Amino acid sequence: MKSQTRSLFAVGVAVGVLGLGSGATTAQTRGAAATPPIENGPAADYPMVIGDPYVVDGITYTPVDTLNYDHVGYATLDESGASGVTGAHRILPLPSYVEVTALDTGRTILVRLERRGPMRGDRLIALSGAAMAQLGAGEGAAIRMRRVNPPEAHRAELRAGREAPPRMDTPGGLLEVLRRRLPEQGAAALGDPRQATISGTVPTPDAIATLDPNEQAAASPEMEDTEKGDPATIAKDEPARPELTMAVEGGPARAPVMVPISPDGNYVVQLGAFSVRANAEKMARQVQGSIVTSDRLAVVRVGPFASRGQAEQALAKLRGRGYKEALILSLE
């Protein structure tokens, strides 16, 4: 009897131990299932590969890790049969993330760069079939491509082969500016000329020496950086009244537009949006204007004016002085 009891006890202990082992294994399995596969996790974005220079169509391309890459050019369909919303680029690190905008519609999508290419010199980026479909574009489509740092949730969608949430469409006013910067073939940089060009080459020391770090291309009507923001829509989320009710200090004694302003007026003439405030202040002094801030942009305006007719007079005078992108905005 005692022998049977010992046997039963031993069996019970063994079953209990096996049960505990089974439970632990199940918990571990559940934990593993809840963890994203390594190929789709954040670690899949590292390390970024830059690589050595190489030649396409007789041109040497030098991969470079530049954060402010922003170009207009043309897209081509990636003939490699790549899946997901992905792209190929000649110089940016792999992987990296870019926003691609169709310049005919303004539709903007997020793309993960995973390959080198395109292997023809007159195209800026090669897009997978899924990326082309999401963009609603075809072979040779005019596009803007700029490097971005998207949220991890959006990166994860692309790593998993799915589309990231749609980006905000680019407004019409900015599209017009971008289309004017588009070359007939190849690509053109939109940012600071000290950034790497499409070929991945670096400006010469002599060219860099001629650039004043406090003067960017937007300090005058002929040199604009208004592609940083759309003058027609920049006022959407900003204060209704200028931060500076009077002209910027140091400006001319009388406003060059020679149209009286009214503190309670509902119309202003907007001249440009600048990523460097010093450039905005320079323009504001030239036109006896004021500055408002929208996001990280400094926006130059003249006014307010009591009536739209007065704003139109000011607009005509300003455009006559060379401020071709000036436009009227209502503060109502």
Answer for the pair 139, 103: CB distance below 8 angstroms, yes or no: no
Is the Cβ–Cβ distance between 235 and 268 less than 8 Å?
A: no
The number of folded domains in the chain is: 2
d(CA 273, CA 295): 11
**Position 262, amino acid:** S
Same domain, 183 and 239: no
Same domain, 67 and 155: yes
Domain-ending residue, one of 163, 189, 215: 189
Judge whether 304 lies within some domain. Answer: yes
Residue 81 belongs to a domain: yes
pLDDT by residue, tens only, the chain of 332 residues: 444 544 444 444 443 433 333 333 333 333 333 444 546 788 899 888 998 988 877 888 889 888 889 999 999 999 888 899 999 999 999 999 999 999 999 999 999 999 999 987 789 999 999 999 999 999 999 999 999 999 999 999 999 999 999 898 888 888 998 999 999 988 998 865 444 333 344 445 554 454 444 433 333 333 344 434 444 444 444 444 343 333 334 433 344 556 777 878 888 898 888 888 888 888 888 888 888 887 778 888 888 888 888 888 888 888 877 787 788 888 87
Residue 262 falls within a domain, yes or no? yes
Residue 199 lies in a domain: no
Whether residue 194 is contained in a domain is answered as no
* 62-87: b (≥16 Cβ within 10 Å) or e: bbbebeebbbbbbbbbbeeebebbbb
Q: Are residues 163 and 60 in the same domain?
A: yes
Cβ contacts of 148 within 8 Å, gap of 6 or more: 97, 98, 99, 110
The residue segments making up the domain with residue 314 are 226-330
Same domain for 240 and 121 = no
Same domain, 185 and 234: no
